[in-house]
Chain A
Amino acid sequence: MVDIGTLSLIVLLGMFALLAIGMPLGFASAFLAVVTLSLKFPPDLLWGDFGRGPMSVLGQAVYRQMTNYVLISVPLFIFMAALLERSGIARDMYSSLNIWLSRVRGGIAVVTSIMAVIMAAMSGIIGGEVVLLGLIALPQMLRLGYNQNLAIGTICASGSLGTMIPPSIVLIFYGLVTETSIKALFTASFLPGFMLASFFLIYIVVRTQMRPDMAPLPPEVPGEPKGGDKGLMFLGFMSRFTAWVAGVLFVRAVFFTVTGDNAVREGQDPIPLGMVSDIPWIVGTFVLCLILIFFVCGRDRTAKGWEMGKGLIAPTVVIGVVLGSIYGGITGITEAAGMGVIAVFVIGMLRREMTFDIVWDSLIRTLRSTGTIIWVTIGAAALAAAYTLVGGPTYVANLIVGADLPTMGIILVMMFVFLIMGMFMDWVGIVLLIMPVFLPIVVRLPAEEIGFLASVDARYIPIWFGVVFCMNMQVSFLSPPFGPAAFYLKSVAPAHISLTDIFKGFLPFIALQLVALSVLLIWPPIVTLFL
């Protein structure tokens, strides 16, 4: 019927037209899937026989997505984040961190960043995170007379880290679309995520050291411990906490030894920190902690430090449950998300904060967000299936690979496309609609030409590209005119801060994100260090 080039153009233009008239993204893609098939197959084959024909690929594609086990992690992570933002965990974490860093120049900004990293490791969603930080940290920073741009940029840029540091919902979708191992993606994004976070921290510290008036110190509280005393207290807190962890691990290892689960067997992965050979190490750590508590820090200091640092325990437990489940080989991503929900719920119960209303309200939000995200997936799955059936991705890949462009040139053009699309579109639309076309091209590019200083093994190209994509989306959360982080912050910021002010505050942080992105492009092996 219609040749594939014209068809691709029609689909592309159709997408723009349908989105312009405000058609929901998922349904627009779904309808374009019908258009694709109608252009490819003659009408009597399509519509001649009710109940069968090429249109059946649509139903099959949707069914495949609906019975995808990993996809279940999406509503669960959303549920967990919704519960988390209604518990006081974040507030306590802020006060704990703030005590330790109150005498540091730019302390609250640093605390904000660190807190954002911790929250990013708990859940994989942005939005609530920016709102929380905006409610907790922004008033403090403005009251102390922090530079407004610095305050805004810190909150939004760090608050967006949620999707860069595992678990990350962006990487989950990338893994689903491209059939890449999500666990590997998470591992790969660790280092780049922390690199980006450390760029933020370095920027804050350097900037405030150069211009101390940007971040005035809070007035001293009489009787507050300072200097070395505080350091010892922190050491005491850490030792006591580590001792607890070691104790729990010891019980766990003994339990395995009793049940015989950790017997060394051929062809079975050892249980991390659960083997008999690990017990001496655990006991050693425990003893070391006791020595630190009793002979270095002193029991009083430890007790005081514990009181001050308590707020950090709940987040650590949640991270331990979620990431520990994934990396400890206990569960997959989906069960880890489920366990995260349970962990947050139980902590909320222990803190006497959970009520039926909070859970129910979180469920309403979860279902709403699930509906919007999953139905984009449904539409995109239909479109991708139809477009693949007519040979679209191969055509585009041949077109680009055959065009004899420099490899890095193609990659840079893709980055540009991501950044521009990210200004107008949700990440979920980009990953679902663009990735099925882009990734086949990237995979077919010569692997040794990817990266400027060093290249990465061809096997790891999809993983590398996923992390690069994730970094691109970091920029999209901040980029004007529709950067969602700005709107989240606007809704909680004092009225005199306009959207323009907010976007102005983002500029240095967007620059930092672009630096991090170029590090990934210049030296791709950074993603494979831990693989």
Chain B
Amino acid sequence: MHDNSLWLGRMRGPVKTTMMVFIGLTLALYVWLITQQFISDDAYGMFEMIRPAGRPLVLAMLIIFSLALFFASLFLSDTKGAIETPPEGIFDLVSVVLGRLSMIMTTFIVLVMFYEVVSRYVFSKPTLWANELSLWIAAFVFLLSGLYAMQQRSHIRIYIIYDMMPRWAQKLSDCISVLLIVAFAVALVWGGYTDAENRFMRMETFGTAWDPPIPGIVKPGLLIIIVLVAIQAVSNLIADWNKDPVVHSSSDDIDEIEIENIRRTLEEQK
């Protein structure tokens, strides 16, 4: 499997093993925690899961789960999806790994919602945490998706005039765009830093029954990710500097590979 490795190379195998180990540990611990629900009176529920202080088991679960996610993202970022722009530098790699993380998170949102709907509708036992958990995850999926889209150069742009420009003018336009993106990031951090810092220090919570620290985490996360997006924009500018101009068309968002895939699906079992 070394031949289709993007960047891990010889490390691909070890990373995969580590990922498997941590996923296995997470599952084992998860099963243990679930069993506790049935046999123990003071089992840890979702309320305790986000308050690890003084609960070593919860802390262990959180750490192992984060590591499992981290290694899974690393491993998955090593394979290029058919439609993806391959990563070229260190910042591209960061973006792709974080992109992989948010893809995994998207499935978690679906699962959390499914759990909530089933437990509310079938068992009439609505959870306290499902809505807020999906909100929490989704905020990061939204933010990271922009970083990923930046690395993939798939943000919505209007190319009518851009494509008519000579190459030097395109480069000039790109420079202006990137400069302005950086200016926005600076302005956002300038205006929001104190607020984000305060909320992070207080670990400000959402003010609900489950009470996750959504403002305390998302507000600083927002600033950090905007800065990452700006860095990614600069990195794109450098990477694309000497590339030939690409002619864009409105059909960019539907690609040959997707059509080929659909076509194959249609022809199967005919």
User: CB distance B176 to A370 under 8 Å?
Assistant: no
Partner of A56, one of B103, B149, B195, B258: B195
The residue in chain A whose Cβ has the minimal distance to the Cβ of B160 is: A424
On whether A371 and B110 interact (CB within 8 A), knowing A22-B170, A135-B259, the answer reads no
Partner of B161, one of A22, A33, A63, A370: A22
**Which A residues lie within 8 Å of B268 (CB)?**
88, 353
Q: How far is the CA of A22 from the CA of B173 in the complex (A)?
A: 7
The residue in chain A whose Cβ has the minimal distance to the Cβ of B186 is: A34
**Which A residues lie within 8 Å of B250 (CB)?**
482, 484, 487
Interface of B (DSSP majority class): helix
On whether A339 and B191 interact (CB within 8 A), knowing A19-B158, A67-B139, A378-B146, the answer reads no
CB proximity of A359 to chain B, nearest CB, Å: 8
Q: How far is the CA of A200 from the CA of B252 in the complex (A)?
A: 28
The residue in chain B whose Cβ has the minimal distance to the Cβ of A57 is: B191
Partner of B145, one of A31, A339, A370: A370
User: CB distance B192 to A128 under 8 Å?
Assistant: no
On whether A342 and B121 interact (CB within 8 A), knowing A34-B187, A88-B266, A135-B266, the answer reads no
Chain A 10-52 interface residues, beta-carbon cutoff 8 Å to B: 18-28, 30-31, 33-34, 37, 47, 50-52
**Which A residues lie within 8 Å of B106 (CB)?**
75, 79, 363, 366-367
Query: Is B155 at the interface (CB under 8 A from chain A)?
Result: yes
Q: 1/0 per residue A442-478: CB within 8 Å of B? A: 0000000000000000000000000000000000000
User: CB distance B143 to A66 under 8 Å?
Assistant: yes
Query: Is A127 at the interface (CB under 8 A from chain B)?
Result: yes
User: CB distance B262 to A128 under 8 Å?
Assistant: yes
Query: Is B47 at the interface (CB under 8 A from chain A)?
Result: no
Tally of chain A residues near chain B (CB < 8 A): 92
**Which B residues lie within 8 Å of A50 (CB)?**
190, 193-194
**Which B residues lie within 8 Å of A91 (CB)?**
265-266, 270
CB proximity of A314 to chain B, nearest CB, Å: 14
On whether A487 and B254 interact (CB within 8 A), knowing A132-B262, A342-B110, the answer reads yes
**Which A residues lie within 8 Å of B141 (CB)?**
75, 367, 370
**Which A residues lie within 8 Å of B4 (CB)?**
none
Q: Which of B157, B161, B256 has the most CB of A within 10 A?
A: B157
On whether A338 and B114 interact (CB within 8 A), knowing A86-B262, A363-B107, the answer reads yes
Partner of B259, one of A28, A331, A426, A492: A492
On whether A338 and B110 interact (CB within 8 A), knowing A22-B159, A424-B160, the answer reads yes
Query: Is A368 at the interface (CB under 8 A from chain B)?
Result: yes
Partner of A335, one of B117, B188, B196: B117
User: CB distance B184 to A27 under 8 Å?
Assistant: yes
User: CB distance B162 to A25 under 8 Å?
Assistant: no
User: CB distance B109 to A338 under 8 Å?
Assistant: yes
**Which B residues lie within 8 Å of A27 (CB)?**
155, 177, 180-181, 184
Q: How far is the CA of A127 from the CA of B196 in the complex (A)?
A: 39
Q: How far is the CA of A372 from the CA of B155 in the complex (A)?
A: 5
The residue in chain B whose Cβ has the minimal distance to the Cβ of A66 is: B139
User: CB distance A429 to B191 under 8 Å?
Assistant: no
**Which B residues lie within 8 Å of A37 (CB)?**
187
User: CB distance B266 to A22 under 8 Å?
Assistant: no
**Which B residues lie within 8 Å of A492 (CB)?**
259
Q: How far is the CA of A18 from the CA of B173 in the complex (A)?
A: 9
Query: Is A54 at the interface (CB under 8 A from chain B)?
Result: yes
Q: 1/0 per residue B84-108: CB within 8 Å of A? A: 1000000000000001001100110
User: CB distance A368 to B177 under 8 Å?
Assistant: no
Interface of A (DSSP majority class): helix
The stretch that binds A, out of B20-28, B32-40, B48-56, B215-223, is: B215-223
Partner of A66, one of B124, B142, B180: B142
Query: Is B138 at the interface (CB under 8 A from chain A)?
Result: yes
User: CB distance A47 to B155 under 8 Å?
Assistant: no
CB proximity of A155 to chain B, nearest CB, Å: 14
CB proximity of A471 to chain B, nearest CB, Å: 21
Q: How far is the CA of A492 from the CA of B263 in the complex (A)?
A: 9
Q: Which of A33, A75, A85, A87 has the most CB of B within 10 A?
A: A75
On whether A368 and B154 interact (CB within 8 A), knowing A51-B194, A55-B192, the answer reads yes
Query: Is A420 at the interface (CB under 8 A from chain B)?
Result: no
Q: Which of A33, A55, A128, A488 has the most CB of B within 10 A?
A: A55
CB proximity of B183 to chain A, nearest CB, Å: 6
Q: 1/0 per residue A345-377: CB within 8 Å of B? A: 000000001000001110111111111101110
On whether A339 and B195 interact (CB within 8 A), knowing A50-B190, A488-B251, the answer reads no
**Which A residues lie within 8 Å of B162 (CB)?**
20-22
Q: How far is the CA of A47 from the CA of B190 in the complex (A)?
A: 8
Q: How far is the CA of A492 from the CA of B192 in the complex (A)?
A: 47
Query: Is A341 at the interface (CB under 8 A from chain B)?
Result: yes
**Which A residues lie within 8 Å of B147 (CB)?**
371
Q: How far is the CA of A75 from the CA of B113 in the complex (A)?
A: 13
User: CB distance A59 to B219 under 8 Å?
Assistant: yes
The residue in chain A whose Cβ has the minimal distance to the Cβ of B109 is: A72
**Which A residues lie within 8 Å of B247 (CB)?**
none
User: CB distance B259 to A370 under 8 Å?
Assistant: no
**Which A residues lie within 8 Å of B193 (CB)?**
50-52
On whether A22 and B109 interact (CB within 8 A), knowing A31-B183, A364-B81, A371-B146, the answer reads no
The residue in chain A whose Cβ has the minimal distance to the Cβ of B76 is: A360
CB proximity of A329 to chain B, nearest CB, Å: 10
**Which A residues lie within 8 Å of B196 (CB)?**
59
User: CB distance A88 to B269 under 8 Å?
Assistant: yes
User: CB distance B269 to A375 under 8 Å?
Assistant: no
The residue in chain B whose Cβ has the minimal distance to the Cβ of A62 is: B222
The residue in chain B whose Cβ has the minimal distance to the Cβ of A484 is: B250
User: CB distance A23 to B157 under 8 Å?
Assistant: yes
Query: Is A58 at the interface (CB under 8 A from chain B)?
Result: yes
User: CB distance B109 to A330 under 8 Å?
Assistant: no
Query: Is B135 at the interface (CB under 8 A from chain A)?
Result: yes
Chain B 147-182 interface residues, beta-carbon cutoff 8 Å to A: 147-150, 152, 154-162, 170, 173-174, 176-177, 180-181
Query: Is B127 at the interface (CB under 8 A from chain A)?
Result: no
**Which A residues lie within 8 Å of B262 (CB)?**
85-86, 128, 131-132, 135
User: CB distance A426 to B266 under 8 Å?
Assistant: no
On whether A131 and B139 interact (CB within 8 A), knowing A66-B218, A371-B145, the answer reads no
Chain A 478-517 interface residues, beta-carbon cutoff 8 Å to B: 482, 484, 487-488, 490-492
- List 12 additional A-B contacts (Cβ < 8 Å) besides A75-B106, A488-B251: A20-B162, A28-B180, A31-B184, A51-B193, A52-B191, A56-B195, A58-B188, A76-B109, A79-B110, A361-B81, A367-B99, A491-B251
Task: Provide 8 A-B residue pairs closer than 8 Å at the C-beta atoms, listed in order of the A residue.
Answer: A20-B162, A26-B155, A55-B188, A86-B262, A128-B254, A338-B117, A368-B148, A484-B253
* Pairs of residues from A and B, 5 with the lowest C-beta to C-beta distance, nearest first: A55-B191, A371-B149, A59-B192, A338-B113, A22-B162
B residues contacting A by CB (< 8 A) are 76, 81-84, 99, 102-103, 106-107, 109-110, 113-114, 116-117, 121, 124, 131, 134-135, 138-139, 141-143, 145-150, 152, 154-162, 170, 173-174, 176-177, 180-181, 183-184, 187-188, 190-197, 214-215, 218-219, 222-223, 249-251, 253-254, 256, 258-259, 261-263, 265-266, 268-270
